[in-house]
Structure 1
Amino acid sequence: MVDKDISTLATALLERVDELAKEMTARIRSGSRDYDVVPTEDLEEACRTHLTNALHGLTAQVPVDTAAAADIGRRRALQNVPLPAVMRAYRVGVRYYWEAVALEAGSTTPVASDKLVAAASAMWGLHDSITEAMVSGYHDTVAQRLLASEHERSALVEALLDGRSMDADVLWSAAEVLGVPRTGPFTVVAAEVPQIGRQALPEVAAVLSRRGILSAWRLRPDLQLGIVYLRTSRHLDDLTEVLRQHAEHRVGVSPPYDQLSHTGDALHFAKVAMRSGDAESNAVTVFDDSPVEVATAGAPDVMARVATKVLGPVEALPADERELLLDTLDAWYGCGGSADKAAKLLYVHPNTVRTRLRRISERTGRSLTDPRGITELVLALRAVRQTPKAPSSKPAVTTKTADG
């Protein structure tokens, strides 16, 4: 219900809307430096639009135009005006608007106080509708910009990982968009995904950012890949710690490199490092820290033949006995060739470890006191561990253990 006196008052103010818009603009500018980026003509137009909209609402001549408010919200988002500053500007604007209404009601167009109270209630309802539309437009634009920015980042990461040729200017632009310096050291991370379309390391960029580590990531069908800036030597340790805390499958970390143009080469090393971990584990392998493992993973076809030649007699054993022997060899090697340490790791007696190692030597013909024999067994073991096992539908068969 629109009162005749209120409608008359609103009509009188509409005749002065340009004057009111200029004064509202001045008040908003004086209260916030965030609006320095908004051209005066733009701000005056927005004030004029909102004043006209609000006054027409009091006259009931036209419905409230929330689309105009949404458009203004989009403009402010594109101008990078913080949303809290926009909200403050709206509060300043509505306060001035009501001052103008009250002043008019007390002078040239008298309105009874009860009618003015009713108009105030209508005004706040109108203000809520306009503000909600503005915020909605603002958020939509921010979301679109973030999505476009993420697409751009993802495309640049993909181009760098593919090793595409880029001139210096393009590389500098890529560094700026990715939020990393133009020179390193950098490293590439390659992580196996749990299944197609799922991230191997969800939220990893945010987790690293909280530690002061900059990174950019790309999801491929089989891998999640990242370019990480190592500002300090400590950041590599922090990176591997985060990866070990969050990895569900194998992860590889390349050697550090200084130029973004070498990212494609680093990706190759990261993949090799990833493949060097046990296929059924969530191992995080740093290329430079694991020379034996990465050497094995670097030539999978060759090492598969070596594994068959060296460990074939052990692989031919029943599954449970075979795994017992291989686990013992793995533990013994990991403990620096100490049967006592391996026994503690496996929760068995040291003599049990020695018995199992002797069976491996007997079946393979390789001595675990001969450097050459140890080398061949270890390389073959790494090749076996790095190969994913095919799923089997056969039930497990219980046999005697390798301890006799």
Structure 2
Amino acid sequence: MGVASTNRGVRHGAAADAHVVELSKLMMSRAPQLGRTMADLLCRDIDAYRDGTVVTKDQVAESCAANVTFIFDSLTGGAEVDVSPAERTGTQRAVAGVPLPAVMTAYRIGFRFMWEETIAVARAAGIPTDAILDATARIFFAQETFTQAMASAYRQQLTAQIIEREEERSALVEALLAHRITDKQSLWEAADLLRLPTSGPYAVVAAELPAIGRLGLPAIENKLSARDIRSAWRLLPDLQVGIVHLRGPEMIDALVEVLRHAATARVGISPTFRDLAATSDGLRLARVAVTGKPTGDSLVSLFDDTPLAVAAVSAPEAMAKIRSQVLSRLDELPAEERTTLLDTFRAWVEAGGSANGTAAEIFCHPNTVRHRLRRIEELTARSLSRPRDLAELCLAFEVERRLP
């Protein structure tokens, strides 16, 4: 990808005197040889150029000769000078992956060599001292212009590459979420490109968007990386979604902690899974966690992957029908009474069916618990002592808890 300059050249103002023009011509005639000599020097001293695999010596020599030509062509100060060779060098080095500091170091070493050669040629040609000083000032100015053009093109190309890589990563995340990548080799390649380990555990995180153009988890990839948690993210129309790698089950607590500090809207976390092929299932459960009924004050909800919870969300339409059939009469109650009965039943299940344990949990008398449970039996026409009836009640209450 090329980089177009908004200013294709530079002017130095007043024309140089005849001695400076003479020096310029002498140096331009030596440009090809100087370029090769400078390339030998740079390939010896710059690690990124040394083995010729990233940038060949011929490419370095071509760039050095262009630099020399630019500098001494601009020395006369009369004509506008094209900076496109500098832009081309910057773009090529960015594409090749040469770090900008290494390129700047090469420019510094090359400029010093060129300046020393210029002084030697000027003295040998009998150029007056005043003309040498004038030429030196013009050389410094031209070199600065050339270097700035190169660095600007380098940064523009690097920015374009970063955007392109992020677009590729985002597309890969979407392919995994949509279950479009399934074979092992492709999954491993996808993990490598996303900078994720090739084996889990993983989890999918889904965050609501608080408003159009705003992320529910700003800068989350960097925040997780600071805790040694790798992730890759994709912005969907309604959610910000990430695939997160957890080095072990214990890392889920660190993930929740980071998400709680970062969240600006509701966030859901799927159960962990071992294979990237299960990412689409993880997204479905993360969606349930983020869109279901909230529990507590935290914006972050972790999906409980118990068999009952998974069953409750596996077929939303069928589950909603079961909930309606079982709990229809509870739905007719005043909201406060209905909530009290629902909370009592859940506490009773968590307490293993103990009225005393439930009473201690919800701060009431055991007889009050028993009375509320009998009320549930009456309203649902199901007995807590019959296994089939109890299973239906547990499933209906789980659906009530999970689905909006």
- For the superposition of Structure 1 and Structure 2, which TM-score range results when normalised by the shorter chain? 0.7 to 0.9
- The residue correspondences of 1:7-22 to structure 2 (distance < 5 A) are 7-22=21-36
Give the aligned partner of residue 3 of structure 1: 17
Deviations 1:170-225 (A, max 9, x none): 33322321222333333333333334554332222222222222222222112333
Structure 2 unaligned residues grouped into runs of 5+: 1-13, 352-356
Give the aligned partner of residue 235 of structure 1: 251
Residue in structure 2 matching 1:262, options 270, 278, 287 = 278
Give the aligned partner of residue 42 of structure 1: 59
Give the aligned partner of residue 152 of structure 1: 168
| 8 A contact 1:244–1:284 mirrored in 2 | no
Q: In the alignment, residue 25 of structure 1 is paired with which amino acid?
A: A
| 8 A contact 1:276–1:294 mirrored in 2 | no
TM-score by length of 2: 0.79
| 8 A contact 1:196–1:222 mirrored in 2 | no
| 8 A contact 1:161–1:263 mirrored in 2 | yes
- The residue correspondences of 1:96-245 to structure 2 (distance < 5 A) are 96-113=113-130, 115-164=131-180, 166-195=182-211, 198-245=214-261
User: Is structure 2 residue 84 aligned with structure 1 residue 67?
Assistant: yes
Using a 3 Å threshold, how does the CA distance of structure 1 residues 232 and 384 change in structure 2: closer, same or farther? closer
- Taking the aligned partners of 2:367 and 2:329, their CA distance within structure 1 comes to 19
Using a 3 Å threshold, how does the CA distance of structure 1 residues 244 and 378 change in structure 2: closer, same or farther? farther
Identity %: 35
Q: In the alignment, residue 254 of structure 1 is paired with which amino acid?
A: P
Structure 1 unaligned residues grouped into runs of 5+: 344-349, 389-404
Q: In the alignment, residue 122 of structure 1 is paired with which amino acid?
A: R
Could you say what the CA RMSD is over the residues aligned between the two structures, in angstroms?
3.4
1:105 deviation in Å?
A: 2.5
SS in 2 for 1:255: coil
SS in 1 for 2:81: coil
Give the aligned partner of residue 378 of structure 2: 365
1:94 deviation in Å?
A: 1.6
Using a 3 Å threshold, how does the CA distance of structure 1 residues 227 and 266 change in structure 2: closer, same or farther? same
SS in 2 for 1:179: coil
TM-score by length of 1: 0.79
Q: What is the count of residue pairs matched by the alignment?
A: 377
SS in 1 for 2:256: helix
Q: In the alignment, residue 365 of structure 1 is paired with which amino acid?
A: E
Q: In the alignment, residue 48 of structure 2 is paired with which amino acid?
A: D
SS in 1 for 2:228: coil
1:24 deviation in Å?
A: 1.7
Give the aligned partner of residue 325 of structure 1: 340
User: Is structure 2 residue 71 aligned with structure 1 residue 54?
Assistant: yes
- Taking the aligned partners of 2:98 and 2:193, their CA distance within structure 1 comes to 21
Give the aligned partner of residue 29 of structure 1: 43
Q: In the alignment, residue 338 of structure 1 is paired with which amino acid?
A: T
- Taking the aligned partners of 1:238 and 1:63, their CA distance within structure 2 comes to 60
Bigger shift: residues 201-210 or 265-274: 265-274
SS in 2 for 1:181: coil
Using a 3 Å threshold, how does the CA distance of structure 1 residues 192 and 145 change in structure 2: closer, same or farther? same
Q: In the alignment, residue 72 of structure 1 is paired with which amino acid?
A: T
- Taking the aligned partners of 1:69 and 1:76, their CA distance within structure 2 comes to 11
